Amino acid sequence: MEKQTQKQKQATMSGQYRYQQLEHWLRQGITEQRWRAGERLPSIRTLCQERGLSKATVQHALQRLEAQGLLEARPKAGYFVAAKPALVPAPSGLASGGGETQAAVEPPRLVNVSDLLLDIMRRSAAFDLLPGPNGDDLPPGILALNRCVGRALRRQRGADYQYYDDPAGDGSLREQIALHNARRGWPVQPNQLCITSGCQHALFLALMATCQPGDVVAVESPGFYGVLQLLQQLELRVVEVPTSVATGMDMDALADVLKRWDVRACVVSPAFATPGGALMPMAARQRLLDLAQQHNLAIIEDDIYADTAHSTAPDPLKALDADNRVILCSSFSKSLSRDLRLGWVSGARWHGRIQHLKLVTQLASSRFLQQGVAAFMADGSYGAHLRRQRQQLRTNRDQLLAQLHRWPGPVRASVPEGGLAVWVELPGHVDTLAAYPLGLEQGVVITPGPLFSVSGQFSHCLRISFAHGWDAKRMAALAQLASVLNL
Ligand SMILES: Cc1ncc(COP(=O)(O)O)c(C=O)c1O
């Protein structure tokens, strides 16, 4: 027989654990408006004293309510009754200008990603200046995640290993993802979600479901190189729409593109687009949806960076999708772990087809992995992880910007309110593609600007990530980078 755990010892005569009783009492208080939206709950210490509970029990209950979207934790201030999160205001632009977009749009063309670019993509996907993997300490969130996944694996029932999971994915994980998104203002139902093997897989399914070879797809420029690879694979033609690294895709330019060519789908990242971390303002989002309806476009929303918001995660574009034509794709790769290979897609009017394509391309996802992540979310550990990570990312970003301000010459950098990287514009003579092999020789991996386009633009630009802490080794690599670029 299993040993009695501490948790089980806490179970009371009513069959409920103490944390469950507290959770119930607090939930009731919120429902009855004893505490109203935005109001602070009694402190952890007060709850411990007044209800005779341990700090761990109180924290557990609060974290669970947070995971259910009823509470919001504010660092050093306590827990507050959640109000619907607002859209974070758009950043004002690059640190010293540069939020402008390029004017010329080239006609649609097939994509041919060169071997050099493929090599750079392979190395730079790690978002690290140092060739990885590096032995950074595991953050507490990942340790907790590993415990949840381990527990789910140990609980596997005898026959599970002989059966595929539901192609749509594990119900408990879809439920948690739905709850998490409902808090952001997108009331999605679990049956509107399909679990995928990461966001790249979700984007692949979305493009396959909406396009035929030869169709034209509008993308951000600069934009995510992974989408360009997908377009090449699916023999789709790309049209690059000028995109500000502060406010996202230029809607006037898109309107013009749609007048000139028959575009089938548009891939956008309204929340903290790579490479510069742009946040699309509300007016642009509304215009995008209007244009989509007018021209019968499928919108493929890449939402992967939303949970890296440095303050509140913005509502997804999908939340405004009255016409059922926005396919939302996302994953845990940027907010939690790339190694999970777990993502999701909500396919709007194409959902049935997308679910079928998931079956065709992957059959099913790993059940115990999904259940482990679902437990991690239900427990409030995901929320706690995001809070810690937010602070860390803000610090990392500020340290990077402080260093970039010391670089000589006219250097401009985006100031993102989310995401993992800044976009840096260097003096026009700098060739970041030529600097790439020089950097590798000196142990510095750079992500040159031309990677983010098919038209050879942005050779004087590069993306620098702040996903990792600026320890002495990375600081040295950053200094080395300035010399590799011959600044
Ligand atoms: C914008 C964007 N979308 C999708 C992906 C792929 O994500 P995943 O690792 O979940 O497949 C990435 C990874 O770099 C990305 O930056």
Asked if residue 285 and residue 233 are part of one domain, the reply reads: yes
Asked if residue 427 and residue 354 are part of one domain, the reply reads: no
Q: Of the residues 334, 362, 379, which one is the last residue of a structural domain?
A: 379
Measure the CA–CA gap between 163 and 159, rounded to whole angstroms: 7
Q: Of the residues 81, 103, 126, which one is the last residue of a structural domain?
A: 81
CATH number at residue 387: 3.90.1150.10
Q: Ligand 1, residues 200, 205, 307: which to mutate, most atoms within 8 A of Cβ?
A: 200
Q: pLDDT over 90 for what percent of the chain? A: 69
Is the pLDDT assigned to residue 15 strictly greater than 90? no
For residue 115, what pLDDT is reported?
Answer: 82
How far, in Å, from the CA of 282 to the mean position of ligand 1?
Answer: 24
The tokens for 405 are: 């301000």
- 109 within domain boundaries: no
- 343 within domain boundaries: yes
The tokens for 281 are: 């303002």
3 state SS for the chain: CCCCCHHHHHCCCCCCCHHHHHHHHHHHHHHCCCCCCCCECCCHHHHHHHHCCCHHHHHHHHHHHHHCCCEEEECCCEEEECCCCCCCCCCCCEECECCCCCCCCCCCEECCCCHHHHHHHHHHCCCCCCCCCCCCCCCHHHHHHHHHHHHHHHCCCCCHHHCCCCCCCCHHHHHHHHHHHHHCCCCCCHHHCEEECHHHHHHHHHHHHHCCCCCEEEEEECCCHHHHHHHHHCCCEEEEEEEECCCEECHHHHHHHHHHCCEEEEEECCEEECCCCEECCHHHHHHHHHHHHHHCCEEEEECCCHHHCCCCCCCCHHHHCCCCCEEEEEECCCCCCHHHCCEEEECHHHHHHHHHHHHHHHCCCCHHHHHHHHHHHHCCHHHHHHHHHHHHHHHHHHHHHHHHHCCCCCCEEECCCCCCEEEEECCCCCCHHHHHHHHHHCCCCCEEHHHHCCCCCCCCEEEEECCCCCCHHHHHHHHHHHHHCCC
Residue in the block written with tokens 């909500």? 346
Could you report the per-residue pLDDT of 303-335, keeping only the tens digit for each? 999 999 998 889 999 999 999 999 999 999 999
Q: Of the residues 34, 64, 81, which one is the last residue of a structural domain?
A: 81
* Nearest by Cα to 336 from 364, 282, 376, 277: 376
pTM: 0.82
Asked if residue 366 and residue 309 are part of one domain, the reply reads: yes
Question: What is the DSSP code string of 42-76?
Answer: PPHHHHHHHHT--HHHHHHHHHHHHHTTSEEEETT
For residue 84, what pLDDT is reported?
Answer: 47
Q: What atom in ligand 1 is closest to the CA of residue 127?
A: 14
Asked if residue 450 and residue 361 are part of one domain, the reply reads: no
Asked if residue 318 and residue 278 are part of one domain, the reply reads: yes
Residue nearest to atom 15 of ligand 1 (CA): 224
Q: What atom in ligand 1 is closest to the CA of residue 202?
A: 11
For residue 4, what pLDDT is reported?
Answer: 40
- Choose between 86 and 435: higher pLDDT: 435
Asked if residue 303 and residue 190 are part of one domain, the reply reads: yes
Asked if residue 121 and residue 73 are part of one domain, the reply reads: no
- Please compute the mean of the pLDDT values over residues 251-262 and round it to a whole number: 97
Asked if residue 126 and residue 55 are part of one domain, the reply reads: no
pLDDT range class, residue 194, cuts 50, 70, 90 = very high
Instruction: Please give the helix or strand (H or E) that residue 239 lies within, else none.
Output: strand 237-244
Asked if residue 434 and residue 317 are part of one domain, the reply reads: no
Measure the CA–CA gap between 29 and 18, rounded to whole angstroms: 17
How far, in Å, from the CA of 343 to the mean position of ligand 1?
Answer: 10
- Please compute the mean of the pLDDT values over residues 161-166 and round it to a whole number: 88
- 342 within domain boundaries: yes
Is the pLDDT assigned to residue 123 strictly greater than 70? yes
How far, in Å, from the CA of 207 to the mean position of ligand 1?
Answer: 15
Is 230 in contact with 376 (CB distance < 8 Å)?
no
For residue 32, what pLDDT is reported?
Answer: 65
- Please compute the mean of the pLDDT values over residues 178-207 and round it to a whole number: 96
Asked if residue 420 and residue 349 are part of one domain, the reply reads: no
Strands 271-273 and 78-81: unpaired
- 274 within domain boundaries: yes
- 358 within domain boundaries: yes
Residue nearest to atom 7 of ligand 1 (CA): 199
Could you report the per-residue pLDDT of 440-471, keeping only the tens digit for each? 999 999 999 999 999 889 999 999 999 999 99
Is the pLDDT assigned to residue 413 strictly greater than 60? yes
Domain span at 463: 116-137+383-484
Q: Look at the chain and report how many structural domains it folds into.
A: 3
Strands 343-346 and 194-196: antiparallel
Asked if residue 181 and residue 155 are part of one domain, the reply reads: yes
- Please compute the mean of the pLDDT values over residues 286-315 and round it to a whole number: 96
For residue 103, what pLDDT is reported?
Answer: 52
Q: What atom in ligand 1 is closest to the CA of residue 342?
A: 10
- 106 within domain boundaries: no
- 88 within domain boundaries: no
Could you report the per-residue pLDDT of 29-38, keeping only the tens digit for each? 876 678 888 8
| DSSP structural state of residue 342 | -
CATH number at residue 50: 1.10.10.10
- 311 within domain boundaries: yes
- Choose between 116 and 232: higher pLDDT: 232
How far, in Å, from the CA of 304 to the mean position of ligand 1?
Answer: 7
CATH number at residue 246: 3.40.640.10
52: left (phi over 0), alpha (psi -120 to 50) or beta: left
For residue 68, what pLDDT is reported?
Answer: 64
Q: What rounded mean pLDDT belongs to the chain?
A: 88
Asked if residue 398 and residue 337 are part of one domain, the reply reads: no
Is the pLDDT assigned to residue 202 strictly greater than 80? yes
Could you report the per-residue pLDDT of 332-365, keeping only the tens digit for each? 999 999 999 999 999 999 999 999 999 999 999 9
Which residues have CB under 6 Å of ligand 1?
Answer: 125, 198-200, 224, 226, 269, 274, 302, 304, 331, 333, 338, 343
Could you report the per-residue pLDDT of 59-111, keeping only the tens digit for each? 888 887 876 667 888 878 899 888 643 232 223 345 333 344 455 789 998 99
The answer to which of 120-124, 201-205, 300-304, 427-431 has the lowest mean pLDDT is 120-124
| DSSP structural state of residue 347 | -
Entry field: residues in the chain: 487
Q: What atom in ligand 1 is closest to the CA of residue 330?
A: 10
- Choose between 1 and 156: higher pLDDT: 156
Could you report the per-residue pLDDT of 376-391, keeping only the tens digit for each? 999 999 999 999 999 9
